[in-house]
A and B are shown apart, each in its own frame.
Chain A
Amino acid sequence: MAGNILSTLFGTNPSRTTATVPIPAQKTVAGVMHVVIFGAGLVGTALGRHIADQGHDVWFIESNPETVHKLRERYDVQIVQGSAEDPKVLEEAGISRADLVLVVTNFDKTNIILTLIARSLNPTARIIMRLRGEEYLNNKLLWQSANLADTVIISPEHSVIEKAMAILEVQQAFDVAEFADGAIRVAGFRLEEDSPLIGKPLKEAVPRFDRRILVVTVDRDGAVFVPTGNTALRIGDRVFVTVLAGVNMAALLSVFGKEYRTQPKFVLAPLPEPFFVIAKELEAKGHEPVLLEPDFNRCRELAAELKETVIIHGDVADTGLLQRIVNKDTIFLSVTPTQEVNFLVSMLARKLGAVRAITMMDNEAYMAMAPSLDVDAVLSPRLSAVGAILRYIHMGRILDSAMLLGGQINLLLVELESGSKLDGIPIRQVAFPSGVLIAAAIQAGRAVVPHGEMILHAGDRVLLVTPILKTLSTLNELIVQKH
């Protein structure tokens, strides 16, 4: 499982990894939170927008005047222009009154210093810090020190690695979100011509396959909806299904008209430092990935570190070279720091016959273009980070969260309270807000796909699917005790 290796890599304290962070016992705030965000980069901006959409007060601290100007025009947030180290600027942003502080500049050192400053000015706020360097993540003594002990760490790169591993495992999905250490996955597939699901109402088509699969959401040319038993699917629909661990992948993929490769050949474009783990994990699963690397010295380092991986000294955009490596069983992955390079080499790999291309990019326009240009799956550090942080924005009741379809769908893992609307009643009889449904439940430690007659109880965990525009508070009554 992705989580296991990652947690050994990123320190043994499991609360430090993104996958399984328990909610720290700090103040949970009802109503409007005062949120201070350091750094208005891609991650910070995306977070700020989503937090503001949930009705909270967002204060950015940003020194670049052009970024400030752009933010001010576009989002309903307040921006304090100046250096985040300047006490006056910090005071203006109300750091001492903040309920939540996000430290998400692009630099680890800066983030650590800013976290220390923020903590000294505000001992009670929940502070979330972004880090990428393993040298910090692995330093256990650092995280036990008084000023950093209560900091939640997120690593967008780390989230990307998890997602990449999940997608590589499901092979043909264009997006996968994992919950409960992989016991539940929500995976998205594009329906191919020979899928048996096409043209029939779901209630007739669905019993044909495993009870462990549930269709939760459909994206038809950008219109996202929850299917009913009477919905008939079409070619090209992008459907999200709940997949429980242990399902037969080959059988699952055939349902969507896709073929499962038992011996996939993973070809990896150069892996920059944080993503190097991907090769290691693939090795751990018994694969022999091929890794291209243009820098000879780096090649030697990698060769020393990796056992099974075939390391090729060469340029990923070298068509002749790529042609010799890529075949019809190839699953191609490109996570270089330059998204344009990722995009182009992925298209190239597909052209040369690769069955799948998975690419890291953050630009919204590129992400929208990707499916029509044969780039099958997109990894977005920005959206991964937002998904990972969502749970801290609301009440502290969300155990885990993820975003799909560029943020149009939220997945929230929550625990039911006694006396909530869902407690003790067959699901069929519960009135859900529109667009919301249960993708999966965990009862007595066992993941199950819900059905109409099923009765949930307090203490059960449910995975809710909800459209992004639905503010989280409308979900409250489903999961929280009625007053």
Chain B
Amino acid sequence: MNFLMALRIQSVIAAMLAAFQLPALLLAFSLGEPLQYHVLSFLFACGLALGYFYTLKASTDLCARDGVLAVGLGWANTLFLGALPYVFSGRLGWIDALFESTSGFTTTGSSVLTDIEAWPQSLLLWRSTTQWLGGMGMLVLATAILPFLGAGGLQIMKAEVPGPSKDKLVPRVATTARILWSIYLFLTLLCILAFHVSGMTWLEAVNHAFTSMATGGFSTRNASFGVFSPAAQWWAVFFMTVAGINYVLHYRLLLKGDLAIHRDDELRWYLGIILGVGLFCAWVAHPITAEQDLETALRQGLFQVVTIITTTGYASTDWETWPLFAQLVLVGVMIPGSMAGSTAGGIKVVRLVIAVRIFSTVVNRMLMPERVVMVKLNGREVDRDIIESTVALVSAAAVAIILGTIILVGLGMDTGSAYSAALTAFSNVGPGIGSVGPMDNFASVHDLGKILLAVLMVLGRLEVFTLIMLFLPRFWRS
């Protein structure tokens, strides 16, 4: 195993996190907020980055296993460095800080902060930054800027980018990673502009654009999106939906002018679910009355559905006041989440589509054993290894969520809250129902429960296999 290169990548990640500490530091400086925790975190990360000079002799050969190692270490490293500002500020203990950092980088958006608006703006900006970085992925960013990785970068992309198949946009991995980050940056800038035009301050626009495009869901307001204008909420619906779309399709549309992307099976299902469930929720939960017109009903219905299915996790209204049936429908769409190759979590719509089609082939074969059946996607047969990994991931997700629920109930949560907490963590959504609902937070959860949820978040973000492999003895055997 190529440990030296894995370490080298860690030092680069530390350097990047040091660099991304600077905007928060500058903000603290200009607002007259305390600087010391950002300075300390910055220096700490810089110290780790110096390890680069120890790894100059690293070989650039990376096999699949090295990719997993680099990504596993990379996440541990990132989560640790991400938690430092919270810890150094003295406002959170280690467990809470790591929970918040994990919730950030996995773009979950569950929070242990009780009164968000009382926090220094610079720390909140750092909190949003962690989500933005986690959205496209620190390791993908590292792949984009490290010239020395070559084909090894593919192994890293494969271990970090979600989705069943990992196709490169262009022949080179590094160029692919650069294109992904450029599209991400471009969309984020558009989102900042849109939010600012619809009434947010620049700082709010940046914070919320970071967490919208990352489908993260951290807000700087206690009432989340509820305090912003209808225009801002509509823009949020648009940008969250966009963020949940596969970046391969963004690339084809934005850089290749390819309009045929509307024929993509997964995109049709994704938009179909959003529209269907959104209109249903609007109809069930927001009856048109004197004080509630059609626009409000549609907006409230669509906003909650989009924020949940894209695994963002804002709220523009307290949907725990909705009929229980509508609430459960919302929890239901947490399972698919959004499209593969997007910044969103969940098991991905494409896997749901494949699972449904596997089911239908089995049924067809039972009805007529002689019939030749085949699982297809976009008119092409789905590779056997993709089918296998889909089945494995869907089963693993079910096991993880059920086990998580049982343990959380054991730690004293009620069943509904425990189930929604496990699901929301694994799918990287943010809020659940019951004691961890959209207007509540995770501060009251047992410390062990927080650790468990943080593990579920990383498990969901890295799609199980990458993380599990690190804990198998045979992974470490050469």
Contact = CB atoms under 8 A, between A and B. Distances in A.
A binds B: yes
Interface of A: 52-53, 57-59, 65, 72-78
Contact of B171 (A53, A73, A74, A76): A76
A75 B168 CA distance: 12
A78 B171 contact: yes
A76 B172 contact: yes
Interface string B168-197: 101111010000000000000000000000
A127 B154 CA distance: 29
Contacts of A76: 150-151, 153-154, 171-173
Given A75-B151, A76-B153, A58 B171 contact: yes
Contacts of A65: 383
A59 B171 contact: yes
B151 to A, nearest CB: 4
A52 B152 CA distance: 13
Given A53-B150, A57-B171, A57-B172, 7 more contacts: A58-B171, A65-B383, A73-B154, A76-B153, A76-B154, A76-B173, A77-B171
A59 B170 CA distance: 9
16 contacts: A52-B171, A52-B172, A57-B171, A57-B172, A58-B171, A59-B171, A73-B64, A73-B154, A76-B150, A76-B151, A76-B153, A76-B154, A76-B171, A76-B172, A77-B171, A78-B170
A74 B151 contact: yes
Q: Which among A58, A59, A76, A78 has the highest number of chain B CB atoms within 10 Å?
A: A76
Contacts of B150: 53, 76
Interface in B137-153: 150-151, 153
A78 B168 contact: yes
A65 B171 CA distance: 18
A281 B168 CA distance: 49
B170 A57 contact: yes
Contacts of A58: 171
- Minimum-distance CB pairs A-B, first 6: A78-B171, A76-B151, A57-B171, A77-B171, A58-B171, A76-B150
Nearest to A35: B171
Interface of B: 64, 150-151, 153-154, 168, 170-173, 175, 383
B195 to A, nearest CB: 37
A76 B156 CA distance: 13
Nearest to A75: B151
B314 to A, nearest CB: 38
A398 B150 CA distance: 25
Contacts of B173: 76
A72 B153 CA distance: 12
Contacts of A72: 154
Nearest to B158: A73
Contacts of B151: 52, 74-76
A59 B171 CA distance: 7
Contacts of B168: 78
Contacts of A59: 171
A72 B173 CA distance: 11
A37 to B, nearest CB: 11
Nearest to A56: B171
A73 B175 CA distance: 17
A26 B20 CA distance: 48
B175 to A, nearest CB: 8
Contacts of B171: 52, 57-59, 76-78
Nearest to B151: A76
A223 to B, nearest CB: 15
B346 to A, nearest CB: 26
A75 B171 CA distance: 9
A28 B154 CA distance: 30
Contacts of B154: 72-73, 76
A73 B64 CA distance: 8
Contacts of B170: 57, 78
B249 to A, nearest CB: 16
Nearest to B169: A78
Nearest to A469: B60
A4 B252 CA distance: 53
Nearest to A65: B383
A418 B93 CA distance: 69
Contacts of A53: 150
A52 B154 CA distance: 14
A74 B150 CA distance: 10
Nearest to A48: B171
Contacts of A75: 151
B166 to A, nearest CB: 9
Nearest to A72: B154
Q: Which among B150, B170, B172, B173 has the highest number of chain A CB atoms within 10 Å?
A: B172
A78 B64 CA distance: 18
B336 to A, nearest CB: 27
A94 to B, nearest CB: 10
Nearest to B385: A69
A57 B168 CA distance: 12
Contacts of A52: 151, 171-172
Contacts of B383: 65
Contacts of A78: 168, 170-171
Nearest to A77: B171
Contacts of B153: 76
A53 B151 CA distance: 10
A65 B64 CA distance: 19
Contacts of B172: 52, 57, 76
B177 to A, nearest CB: 12
B154 to A, nearest CB: 7
Nearest to B166: A72
B150 to A, nearest CB: 5
B153 to A, nearest CB: 7
A78 B151 CA distance: 11
Contacts of B64: 73
A74 B64 CA distance: 10
Contacts of A57: 170-172, 175
Q: Which among A58, A75, A78 has the highest number of chain B CB atoms within 10 Å?
A: A78
